[in-house]
Amino acid sequence: MKVRCGDAVAHLRCSTIVDGDFHIEGEAVALRHRRRAFSPGLWTQLDEVHGTQVRVVTVPGEYDGAIGDAAITRCRGAVLSVWVGDCAPVLLAGVGTEGSGVIGAVHAGWRGALDGVLQSTVDAASAAHLQAVLGPCIHGCCNEFGADLLAEFESRFGPSVVARTTWGTPSLHLPAVVAAALAEVGVPMVDVGECTRCHPERWFSHRRGQLQRQVCTVTMMAEC
């Protein structure tokens, strides 16, 4: 997928199981090879901890392996990535207040989304115009959730985030959480993903007991 960023173009991609495991704690050499094959360039793949820290990448490859759950950059050629099993990978692209292109990558699990990682990333981007793309994550059909936490999400984001699993228990619809959080800061979202747990032929899923992870990346390049 491509998104205009002023005089640049952002290239957004999400891997599938065919592309292999992108878990940051996997075998280092294999991970480097998978990165190179999937999206050539210098990567920033953070050590995600379900927090709200946003890293500002000033040169390609900066903060690779550092702790954080979101990264933004105005650097052409930098590869920003977010690795996930069932959490929401959110990619951002737009134009900064000074007119240059800006991109971002956010790991939005339920805890980070509730604590404000999406809003913090949008604030750090300082964008005059920004749009978000949501990749594959767990949906309400499979995301069984405790009643107390579910009530907290409903109070915070509204009834659209509450769903029921296919087996009839209360659940959290993570795409609705992401959309509501982004709406608070005026960022429209396009959902290009599907439920990770429902599609074992395409996605890894923590809820299925898998340790492997897929990755979503965004890179900003000069427009040809």
For residues 124 and 119, give the distance between their C-alpha atoms in angstroms, rounded to a whole number. 9
Answer yes or no: is pLDDT of 224 > 60.
Answer: no
Residue 216 forms beta bridges with which residues? 14, 82
State the pLDDT at residue 75.
95
Query: For the residues 150-176, what does the mean pLDDT come to?
Result: 97
Provide DSSP, 186-224: T--EEE---BTTT-TTT---GGGT----EEEEEEEEE--
State the pLDDT at residue 11.
95
Q: All domains of the chain, ordered by start, with CATH? A: 2-113+121-136+194-222 (3.60.140.10)
Q: Would you give the distance in Å from CA 21 to the centre of its chain?
A: 16
State the pLDDT at residue 223.
63
Consecutive H or E run containing 147 = helix 147-157
Q: Are 73 and 103 within 8 A, CB to CB?
A: yes
State the pLDDT at residue 48.
97
Per-chain mean pLDDT for the chain:
95
For residues 188 and 43, give the distance between their C-alpha atoms in angstroms, rounded to a whole number. 26
Instruction: Give the tens place of pLDDT for each residue, 71-81.
Output: 999 999 999 99
Query: For the residues 171-193, what does the mean pLDDT come to?
Result: 97
Query: For the residues 11-37, what does the mean pLDDT come to?
Result: 94
Strands of 189-191's sheet, edge to edge? Answer: 54-57, 70-73, 101-108, 88-96, 127-134, 189-191
Confidence of residue 5 (pLDDT cuts 50, 70, 90): confident
Q: How many CB atoms lie within 10 A of CB 39?
A: 19
Answer yes or no: is pLDDT of 216 > 80.
Answer: yes
State the pLDDT at residue 106.
98
For residues 80 and 101, give the distance between their C-alpha atoms in angstroms, rounded to a whole number. 14
Indicate the range of 2-11, 14-23, 101-110 predicted with least confidence.
2-11
As a whole-number percent, the residues of the chain with pLDDT over 70 amount to 99
SS3 163: strand
For residues 56 and 45, give the distance between their C-alpha atoms in angstroms, rounded to a whole number. 13
The pair phi, psi for residue 197, each rounded to 5°, is -70, -30
Instruction: Give the tens place of pLDDT for each residue, 48-72.
Output: 999 999 999 999 999 999 999 999 9
